[in-house]
Amino acid sequence: MSFKRPRPTDNAVFGNSVTGGSHEPTYGGVLSFMRRRYSRDLTGVDAAVLGIPFDASVSNRPGARFGPQGVRRASAIFDGDPQYPFHADPFEGLAVVDYGDCAFDYGRNAEIPACIEAQAREILDQDVHLFSIGGDHFVTLPLLRAHVAKHGPLALVQFDAHQDTWPDDGGRIDHGTITGRAVREGLIDPDKSIQIGIRTHAPDTCGLEILYGEEVEMLGVNGVVEMIRDRVGDAKAYMTFDIDCLDPAFAPGTGTPVAGGLTSREALMILRRLGPLNFVGGDVVEVAPAYDHADITSIAGASVAQHYLGLLAEKKRQG
């Protein structure tokens, strides 16, 4: 009787390449995002995934500091097979690593924005595309600063239940003010920026176009995609996906859930059709696993990241 050696596990630490899918049990092995190799060596790397376990700016329920762990765990379901809906393994040609988590002193909140920005810039300065996993939505502000330092002012494509444009004197660490801050700091061009799925009202739109939750339903996926493409045009863009854009039925594990949101299918269908946009960076935030059930929210967050990387891989294949 011959013995067939099983496939190797723990690609996250023992993988010998930053490309190619990983085939190991979903229920075992060291967890990285989509089993990518953990590495700080960015030689030959196209994109890096960075976790940011920070949630000290929330206005309701904390817990998004565990978001990177939850999303990595849920991403194990993407085990190296051709990825839906792209009909291909994204890592066949796209070299991606899991860069691990951003480091900072939790007891010095005032220093954390600069820590996030500096570590993001270390990646971007090596011409590597960065996708980040939060953490609460405040982390997007220092991430935008890092991206703008490289690319100049950006269009913002924001999936969210909240506008995040509440008043801010410029010194707050607050997940509800980051978009307004980004406009006032000149990080984003409001005339090319759009928010999708909004289900609350803030005093100021800061000039961004807003698609409210009910408008998404009325327009349908194709109508929403057309509005996003028309708004952004050919501008360099940053995508931020607050998981509370989804209805609580599809994302209960978040700090500030709001009823009436998108389904996970709607959101992923919209994202799938944004390939023509010139995204230079992105993130998914506000996944709080402690309030989740059966990893519903973590799976949604992992799927957003998987779709984003799928778009990058598709664009690279198409040249």
Binding residue numbers for Mn(2+): 137, 160, 162, 164, 242, 244
Largest CA distance in the chain: 74
Binding residue numbers: 137, 160, 162, 164, 242, 244
Name the CA radius of gyration of the chain, rounded.
19
Report DSSP letters for 178-223, one per residue: HHHHHHHTTSB-GGG-EEEEE-S--S--TT-EEEEHHHHHHHHHHH
Distance from C-alpha of 151 to C-alpha of 246, rounded to nearest angstrom: 30
Distance from C-alpha of 52 to C-alpha of 96, rounded to nearest angstrom: 17
Cβ atoms of 64 and 55 closer than 8 Å: yes
* Chain centre to alpha carbon of residue 121: 17
Give Cβ neighbours of residue 110 (< 8 Å, ≥ 6 apart): 173
Centre a 10 Å sphere on the Cβ of residue 179 and count the other Cβ atoms it contains. Answer: 31
Tell me the two tokens of residue 55. 């949630």
Give Cβ neighbours of residue 303 (< 8 Å, ≥ 6 apart): 264, 268
Distance from C-alpha of 38 to C-alpha of 23, rounded to nearest angstrom: 16
Cβ atoms of 215 and 231 closer than 8 Å: no
